[in-house]
Amino acid sequence: MTRNNETVRPVVARLAEDTRAGKLDRREFIALASTFGASSAVAYGLLGMAVPTQAQAEEAKRGGVLRVASRVLEITDPRKFAWTEPGNISRQFCEPLVRWATDYSFQPMLLEGWEVSDDAKTYTLRVRRNAVWNNGDAFTADDVIHNLNRWCDKSVEGNSMASRMGTLIDPDTGKAIDGAIERVDDHTVRLNLPKPDITLIAGMSDYPALVVHRSFGDDGDLAKTPIGTGPFELVSIEIGNAAEVRRRADGKWWGGDVYLDGIRFIDFGTDNASIVAAFDGGEIDINDESTADFIESYDALGLIKQSKPTANTIVARMRMDTPPYDSKELRNAVQLACDNEVLLAISINNEGIPAENHHVAPFHPEYAELPRIKPDPARAIEMARAAGHGETELDIISIDGDWRTTTTDAIAAQLRQAGFNVKRTVMPGNTFWNDWTKYPFSTTNWGPRPLGVQVLALAYRTGEAWNESGHSNPEFDALLAEALGVFDADKRREYSARLQAMLQDSGVIVQPFWRNQALHHTDRVKNVSAHQFREMHYEKVWLDA
């Protein structure tokens, strides 16, 4: 069976049947079909739909510098990136193998395409033939293999890509399994997995998966050697102030025309009032996000708002390996004292939906609805007292200055109202991020991932770089390992129901809500879309005079 001369895999055809039967929603199908290598045209065609395109009422104009309000953080080694902002600056000149598009499909970037075996144990990666590094080198399979090996190195502190590539890693060596990464030819790489893993393509689309040149070593610094394949090249970066990229001088970007002369990223910290003033003064064209407490202010300036529901969230996590939070009874008591619906209203003006303390969203294909646990502050403090923690001081740490501070304040207030002894510590961003995984009790914002099991593997599997709660449960890890190999969403949902319940019962997080993602821009910015993970794709954006 073919669509547009492309063979439709049996697994994709079955997913399409499930979607037409109402077992899978359209967004879930598009993501899963593209994971198995189906193009957007084929995936939408199987549903009897055309690929959505952004309306282009005017002819694109060339020229101008786009001015973006965004934090400017250190860019050194992409695999160590822990926040979207370094990824957004770097992605203008360094690209991923795969992009998670705004329609939730996976689109080829430095790969021209890929095939995944029906058992999800063999991945064939077709390397883009017309990509050229900005130092003149051709992009080849050797670059892909170099990056895969870097991603699979568990010995590198902060390398979160190791959790995404976990199936490829030898547990004894902490590096890629011998023979797992196979060079077929100059433009083909084959991955031979010891067990199924449906998350590899999704992992390759994440912001730490930006591809570096084969010469980039373990001590590499992207700011000092900004070799990339992207449409722009780095001009300058001053941490905490500004960064600038310009259209690639050699004109050899594989994707065709680039309209902007350049992009300037301007850092206002977490001071949204300054960003509002900058818009009002004509100093910026677009922001990276509009938080709920400032949406009305941006709207009042007549700016264009773009918003979409997402799996963006915040968690108040307690490290289960650190006293007093090594007490499960205390952790469960903290959860029980918090009313997530009230936190949603107070913290982000209901710009989202309540969450359920297990970090799998209704947006995820494998989401399982669990019985609702009603908040009970009176019982919560009784539980804490019974565990010997009725008077224990709980110090909740957060970043200063935005909705994360407001959310953490609201959680602290609910705990105080229940009778807990609560202290609040607020840190500036440049201090907070240094040790974000190590605080005993703190809040962290998390971006969305396409699959729920992907989030669980990143954040709650034993020993992973981003496991900030110290969550460790061998039964959870074993069940998750099985779930990562199940492509059928209904079957995976059975696993997810158990995983969600186990994580919820562990008490390691209070997760108040799933947050809508919004941004604002002036009417001179054209062909831009809000991305569910705040990614900035500016290669086809243009400015009206």
Q: What is the DSSP string of 120-176?
A: S-EEEEEE-SS-B-TTSPBP-HHHHHHHHHHHT-TTSTT-THHHHTGGGEETTTTEE
Euclidean distance between the first and final Cα of the chain, in Å? 48
Q: 179, 209, 239 — which closes off a domain?
A: 209
pLDDT, one tens digit for every residue, the chain (545 residues): 333 446 777 778 887 888 888 777 787 788 778 887 888 788 888 888 877 765 555 799 999 999 999 999 999 999 999 999 999 999 999 999 999 999 889 999 999 999 999 888 999 999 999 999 999 999 999 999 999 999 999 999 999 999 999 999 999 999 999 999 999 999 999 999 999 999 999 999 999 999 999 999 999 999 999 999 999 999 999 999 999 999 999 999 999 999 999 999 999 988 899 999 999 999 999 999 999 989 999 999 999 999 999 999 999 999 999 999 999 999 999 999 999 999 999 999 999 999 999 999 999 989 999 998 999 999 999 999 999 999 999 999 999 978 999 999 999 999 999 999 999 999 998 899 999 999 999 999 999 999 999 999 999 999 999 999 999 999 999 999 999 999 888 899 999 999 999 999 999 999 999 999 999 999 999 999 999 999 999 999 999 97
Is residue 404 located within the same domain as residue 431?
yes
Is residue 348 located within the same domain as residue 399?
yes
Is residue 298 located within the same domain as residue 390?
no
- Alpha-carbon distance of 92 to 58, in angstroms, equals 24
Using CA atoms, how far residue 9 sits from 48, 274, 343, 408, in Å, is 17, 52, 45, 47
Structure tokens, 383: 């539980």
Answer yes or no: is 536 within a domain: yes
Q: Residue 499 is part of a domain; what is its CATH number?
A: 3.10.105.10
Is residue 260 located within the same domain as residue 313?
no
Answer yes or no: is 59 within a domain: no
Q: Phi first, then psi: what are they for 421, rounded to 5°?
A: -90, 100
Answer yes or no: is 458 within a domain: yes
The dihedral sign for the CA sequence 176, 177, 179, 184? negative
b/e for 468-490, b at 16 or more Cβ within 10 A? bbbbbbeebbebbbebbbbbbbe
Is residue 190 located within the same domain as residue 78?
yes
Answer yes or no: is 233 within a domain: no
514 touches 363 (CB < 8 A): yes
Instruction: Give residue 95's domain range.
Output: 67-209
Is residue 437 located within the same domain as residue 504?
yes
- Alpha-carbon distance of 71 to 242, in angstroms, equals 8
Q: 186, 209, 232 — which closes off a domain?
A: 209
Answer yes or no: is 328 within a domain: yes
Q: Locate tokens 């568990």: which residue?
A: 154
Is residue 452 located within the same domain as residue 504?
yes
Number of domains in the chain: 4
77 touches 221 (CB < 8 A): yes
Q: Phi first, then psi: what are they for 165, rounded to 5°?
A: -100, 20
Answer yes or no: is 100 within a domain: yes
Is residue 329 located within the same domain as residue 449?
yes
Q: How many CA atoms lie within 13 A of 451 on its CB side?
A: 34
Q: Residue 282 is part of a domain; what is its CATH number?
A: 3.40.190.10
- Alpha-carbon distance of 82 to 160, in angstroms, equals 8
Is residue 304 located within the same domain as residue 366?
no
Is residue 103 located within the same domain as residue 13?
no
Is residue 525 located within the same domain as residue 478?
no
Q: Report pLDDT for 47.
A: 83
Q: Residue 164 is part of a domain; what is its CATH number?
A: 3.90.76.10
Dihedral, CA of residue 28, residue 124, residue 202 and residue 532, to nearest 10: -70
Is residue 355 located within the same domain as residue 370?
yes
Nearest Cα neighbor of 182 from 231, 145, 225 is: 145
Answer yes or no: is 242 within a domain: no
